Structure formats: C-alpha cells, structure tokens
Amino acid sequence: MEELKQRWRFGDYTPVGYLVEIFSTMAAIGEPIAIPNVKEFCQTWEISERQFYRAKAKLVERGDLEEECGGIAINLLD
C-alpha cells in the first residue's frame, strides 16, 4: 500500500483513479471496503477530504460505485 501512496505523491493518479486503486487493493486483500471515519481515511491515504468527496461522487455518478446511507460502505460495480 505504501507504493500506491508513493505513486499518488508523484502525481501518477487523478483523485478518481486513486480511489479506484485504493478500493481495489482493499478488496483484493479481503478487507471490507467501509469508511467509518472519512477524516481518518483521508489522513491515512494522504488525500484531502474535498478530493475524496468529489472523486467518490464522480464514481457514484458514472455507476462505478454504490454507497450505503448512514456511513460510507463501498461497493465497486463491474
């Protein structure tokens, strides 16, 4: 996961692409894709909350992501 963050720091990803990579990585290692605390998630992954919410909205808008109300539980759609 550190390599993913490093590539983000170097500008290899757009915010949307970065979220897709984060969620795909989490799913690949069997982690539930749930974000109980967006602030902590953003600090951990070194993405601003504004970038996170805009990227998440874009993914939902284009049908690549579903979210549950009452928190953010992510379902990547194929």
Each residue's pLDDT tens digit, 24-62: 888 777 666 778 888 999 999 999 999 999 999 998 888
pLDDT value, residue 71: 56
Architecture of domain 2-76 in CATH? Orthogonal Bundle (1.10)
pTM, to two decimals: 0.82
Percentage of the residues of the chain whose pLDDT score is greater than 90: 53
Distance CA(41)–CA(71), nearest Å, equals 13
**What is the DSSP code (8-state) at residue 63?**
T
pLDDT for position 27: 79
Domain extent listing, the chain: 2-76
